[in-house]
Structure 1
Amino acid sequence: MSGRVGDLSPKQAEALELFRERIQDVLPQLPAQHDHFLLRWLRGSKKHVKLLNLIFSQFFFQHLEFRKQMKVDTITTDWRPPEVIEKYLSGGMCGYDREGSPIWYDVIGPVDPKGLFLSASKQDFIKSKIRDCAKPLGSNVESITMIYDVEGLGLKHIWKPAIETYGEILQMFEDNYPEGLKRLFVIKAPKLFPVAYNLVKHFLCENTRLKICILGANWQEVLLKYIDAEELPAIYGGKLTDPDGDPRCRTRINHVGPVPSSYYVRDHVKVDYEQCMTVSRGSSQQLDYEILAPGCILRWQFASEGADIGFGVFLKTKKGEWKKAGQMLEVLPSQRYNAHLVPEDGSLTCEHPGVYVLRFDNTYSLFQAKRISFTVEVLLPDQLQSSPTNGKSSSHVHAEGSSHL
């Protein structure tokens, strides 16, 4: 039994009847009251009928509170995303798969995460996704097919504030739109994709993960097995030559570029740092990170108090030994940053094993010590990922600090 309308087992039918009875007082508050909608909350569970109803009734009432707080029922008429989101956030709904499910496209490569976050609030991004979910998709539409075009995925896309917000959006989908995803095709995945996926996959339940299909070089052939050519944009191997002009396209599948600075409403995004240290006047501080395998990504964010600070990344062969900057291989040239005005962030793909040294340089300052707030992470390639929880693993990373004149 599929757990869908017209294909219910006796146990599933009993669960649906009990569920409807339990929530009958709040049914008028819902966007739909039919069985198609209610079964999305129950489908896939192996639990006992009464326990299942207790659990999902709790989730359901939390969803009603979510709808109330976010004003979901009026968000399509009473709220509009900022212009920068509408112009510079790629993606859109266009066409239907062979079974009649709408298709949503996300085009990742051209997106400028930092420019968007400097131009709109995190709440704006979350509300824009809720608004997309709230738009009517047609009668009894239970789920959508998604296509993630990740060509051009780069280090800028794993910027920590963007990843954290994306995680919140994924969690919002999981909690409030159960079984809304039919399948997700990832196409044109670069080498960086497994690292990026490791950062967000813990927000997804096991059932959702099983619906993700990472396609290889034959991705066009696979898409056409599920989607008629007339429903697929030409850029993805179909016959839709102008999806943005097609009346079935509910939002633009636009390929955008960097956000112009004229949209910026702030000069930085607030960050909660994990560590602090003081770099004495005329001194430097070195943080060692031992990388045991190539392909790891070193990611950092830092801010200084009072004045600027020098920063660079170097490579040495042995941990625990201190070396001057000139005795190490310079990986990222050292320069002074006005991190007291605008916090700095960056990342680096570690092509070779070794000890990578993040060096904060205050040797040029004869009178003023600098207090540095910072967060440093090592993101592991998929084959080294020992835990799905946070993208970090102490078994592959060694960090220590030292201060020298």
Structure 2
Amino acid sequence: MSGRVGDLSPRQAEALAQFRENLQDVLPSLPSQDDYFLLKWLRARCFDLPKSEAMLRKHLEVRKHMDADNIIAWEAPEVIRKYMSGGMCGYDREGSPIWYDIIGPLDAKGLLFSASKQDLLKNKFRDCEVLRRECEQQSKKLGKKIEMVMMVYDCEGLGLKHLWKPAVDTYGELLSMFEENYPESLKRLFIVKANWKEVLQKYIDPDQIPVEYGGTLTDPDGDPKCSSKINYGGDVPQHYYVRDQLAQQYEHTVVVNRGSSHQVEYEILFPGCVLRWQFRSEGADVGFGVYLKTKIGERQRAGEMTEVYPNQRYNSHMVPEDGSLTCSTPGIYVLRFDNTYSYLHSKKVSYSVEVLLPDAASAQQIQNLGDKLSEVALNHSP
């Protein structure tokens, strides 16, 4: 059995029912609660319930981190909007959206010198959400379930410049993010090289294919590339590069030895406070994550604490990183710079951190706490 709606074995149907039961606490926060959506996660892990549940719960953490409910309104930095190639254009013969990735003109090095890797990842997550929501709209429009997309990879012009290691690593992260957060969503993948026009027209009507790719579709102004829908990238002008332009002054500088990490602790007294950080490394990337301590008064390993901001490697030697976290729970938060994966090189990291009060109500809470402490001090003074 395929494991899809209407084609389930008794064992698969039982697994689906149990999966839904196991997820009762998070069902309202899912992008969709129907069987089609839940079965994607089950198929992705061969109907292994614990693995499917872990995968979906991890996805919910990522959605929260990316602010997925509002990400469509998020505007990427100008350099990404102008030079990150790709776009959605047309539908296949069954109504599935088509996404084009234009690899050849993409200036990966220029993008990584001009934008943070996290903004690049967030931009790709936004693209995925655009496609997911387009599938929902197509389902309503056509009266049938559309849950997968078609992708066209234009690899004309692919060369050595695309094999720069930081770019390859980042692209690998983009693909992993798609696989881990949008499973069972890729219907077909076409790689444009030879004999591709005939293959595309086998699945897509010509009026849904740009003239550039052998069809008849153009922009309203006659543009054969449909540039209003598909960004074709191009070399990033060096005035966008930020690596050598920022004269940021950091409050602290540390050397994180090879195979080790550096932890910085901040006490958060009230829920809703915001931790904000900026950091830069020298010579190579560095890992970074935020954790909530489970034991007060002693140093804990990362695995012993609660991860509240995912630990990832950042190309902060190319573009300084900045970020923030709204702390939902009071406690001791640990900002951890991670170099445990490097057995050869120490990393010099410069950073600044500040704690922001969320609103006037919290400010009043702190004032009240200060008043109480003053009162206690007066009552116990000689």
TM-score (norm 1): 0.55
| Matching residue's letter, 2:83 | Y
Contact 1:244 1:253 in 2 (8 A): no
Equivalent in the alignment of 1:30: 30
Change (3 A) 1:7 1:250: farther
SS of residue in 2 equivalent to 1:170: helix
Contact 2:210 2:217 in 1 (8 A): yes
Contact 1:93 1:250 in 2 (8 A): no
Matched, 1:75 2:80: no
Deviation at 1:46, TM superposition (A): 4.5
Equivalent in the alignment of 2:212: 235
Deviation at 1:126, TM superposition (A): 0.1
SS of residue in 1 equivalent to 2:236: coil
Change (3 A) 1:263 1:34: same
| Matching residue's letter, 1:104 | W
Equivalent in the alignment of 2:192: 187
Equivalent in the alignment of 1:260: 237
Matched, 1:147 2:124: no
SS of residue in 2 equivalent to 1:175: helix
Q: Separation in 2 of the partners of 1:250 and 1:46?
A: 40
> What are the equivalent positions in structure 2 for 1:267-278 lying under 5 Å apart?
267=244
Q: Separation in 2 of the partners of 1:164 and 1:184?
A: 21
Q: 1:59 aligns with which of 41, 55, 58?
A: 55
Equivalent in the alignment of 1:107: 102
Q: Separation in 2 of the partners of 1:46 and 1:120?
A: 37
**Which shows bigger deviation, 137-146 or 119-128?**
137-146
SS of residue in 1 equivalent to 2:15: helix
Higher helix proportion: 2
Q: Separation in 1 of the partners of 2:84 and 2:100?
A: 11
Q: Separation in 2 of the partners of 1:245 and 1:124?
A: 32
SS of residue in 1 equivalent to 2:127: helix
SS of residue in 2 equivalent to 1:24: coil
Equivalent in the alignment of 2:267: none
Contact 1:91 1:251 in 2 (8 A): no
Deviation at 1:2, TM superposition (A): 2.5
Deviation at 1:44, TM superposition (A): 5.8
Q: Deviations over 1:185-240 (max 9, x none)?
A: 1112xxxxxxxxxxxxxxxxxxxxxxxxxxxx321111111111111111111110
Q: Separation in 2 of the partners of 1:105 and 1:243?
A: 19
Deviation at 1:256, TM superposition (A): 3.1
Contact 1:90 1:256 in 2 (8 A): yes
SS of residue in 2 equivalent to 1:118: helix
Q: Deviations over 1:349-377 (max 9, x none)?
A: xxxxxxxxxxxxxxxxxxxxxxxx9xxxx
RMSD: 3.1
Change (3 A) 1:4 1:181: same
Change (3 A) 1:180 1:163: same
SS of residue in 2 equivalent to 1:173: helix
Matched, 1:171 2:171: no
Q: Deviations over 1:135-166 (max 9, x none)?
A: 21124432111000000011111111111111
Gaps in structure 1 of 5+ consecutive residues: 189-216, 275-301, 304-341, 344-372, 374-405
Gaps in structure 2 of 5+ consecutive residues: 140-144, 246-255, 259-281, 284-316, 319-344, 346-382
Contact 2:88 2:98 in 1 (8 A): yes
Change (3 A) 1:121 1:244: farther
Q: Separation in 1 of the partners of 2:214 and 2:42?
A: 36
Q: Deviations over 1:319-352 (max 9, x none)?
A: xxxxxxxxxxxxxxxxxxxxxxx99xxxxxxxxx
Change (3 A) 1:14 1:244: farther
Deviation at 1:4, TM superposition (A): 1.9
Q: Deviations over 1:156-188 (max 9, x none)?
A: 111111111111111111211111111111112
Deviation at 1:97, TM superposition (A): 1.1
Change (3 A) 1:112 1:239: same
Contact 1:90 1:255 in 2 (8 A): yes
Change (3 A) 1:253 1:117: same
Deviation at 1:254, TM superposition (A): 2.5
Q: Separation in 1 of the partners of 2:170 and 2:66?
A: 16
Identity, in percent, stands at 62
Contact 2:211 2:217 in 1 (8 A): yes
Change (3 A) 1:71 1:245: farther
Equivalent in the alignment of 1:122: 117
Q: Separation in 2 of the partners of 1:117 and 1:219?
A: 31
Deviation at 1:35, TM superposition (A): 1.2
Q: Deviations over 1:67-86 (max 9, x none)?
A: 11221122112x21111111
| Matching residue's letter, 1:23 | L
User: Deviating runs (4+, > 4 A) in structure 1?
Assistant: 44-47, 243-246
SS of residue in 2 equivalent to 1:147: strand
